[in-house]
Amino acid sequence: MKGTDEPNHPHDEARMVQQSRFLSRVLRHDPGRIGLTLDPAGWVAVDALLAGLAAHRHPMSRARLERLVAESDKQRFAFDPTGTRIRANQGHTVPVDLGCAVAEPPAVLFHGTHPGALAAIRREGLRPMRRHDVHLSPDRETATRVGARRGSPIVLVVDAARMAGDGHTFRLSANGVWLTQAVPPGYLTP
């Protein structure tokens, strides 16, 4: 009988989502949860990650980890060129320097949110909250999926060209998410 760590198990898709969420928590927010320490750029040895997961009742095979990285809809994780280290591509609340270079953004970017956040966003703009940066999507569809995580999505349009012209900097993560320190309300339209 196949286990839930193997493809084609009836519960495999749900298990993949659960494992991806746990991996995000470890690699973005709480590596110490399984006894890990990220290097300054957010990398951790794959062998150490797998050992930490197993030691803390979240065993995962190398093949399963590779599948999670390859099939992540948002490309949340990446292996280094040698395949011996892994990190989250963005979204950290722990101090890391991902080395994302400053880049010229497209004219508009998008941010998906939920109705409960809209009043504060209109007053204060977009703030990174617990993360290092505000995350912006290159297209409306992605922003809609992001906003739908907490109910009925609202997509805000960011005038990125005007922001850049006014001196705000943007960086592009390895998985195509645009990062900036904050988006003041004057650059947002519903």
- Candidates 3.20.170.30, 3.40.50.880, 3.20.19.10, 3.40.50.1820; CATH matching 109-189: 3.20.170.30
SS3 for 186?
helix
Q: How many other CB atoms sit within 10 Å of the CB of residue 154?
A: 19
CA max distance for the chain: 60
Closest CA to 181 of 167, 173, 169, 189: 169
Distance separating alpha carbons of residues 5 and 20, to the nearest angstrom: 12
Which pLDDT band holds residue 180 (cuts at 50, 70, 90)? Answer: very high
Residue 91: Cβ within 10 Å count: 21
Question: According to CATH, where is 3.20.170.30 located in the chain?
Answer: 109-189
Q: pLDDT tens, 97-116?
A: 988 989 999 999 999 999 99
Nearest to 183 by CA among 130, 117, 113, 136: 136
pLDDT digit string (tens) for 14-52?
A: 888 899 999 999 999 999 999 999 999 999 999 999 999
What pTM was estimated for this model as a whole? 0.76
Tens digit of each residue's pLDDT (9 = 90 or more) over 8-22: 555 788 888 899 999
Q: At the top level of CATH, which class does the domain 12-88 belong to?
A: mainly alpha
As separate numbers, helices (DSSP H) first and strands (DSSP E) second, the chain gives: 6, 9
Q: Which residues in the chain are classed under CATH 1.10.10.970?
A: 12-88
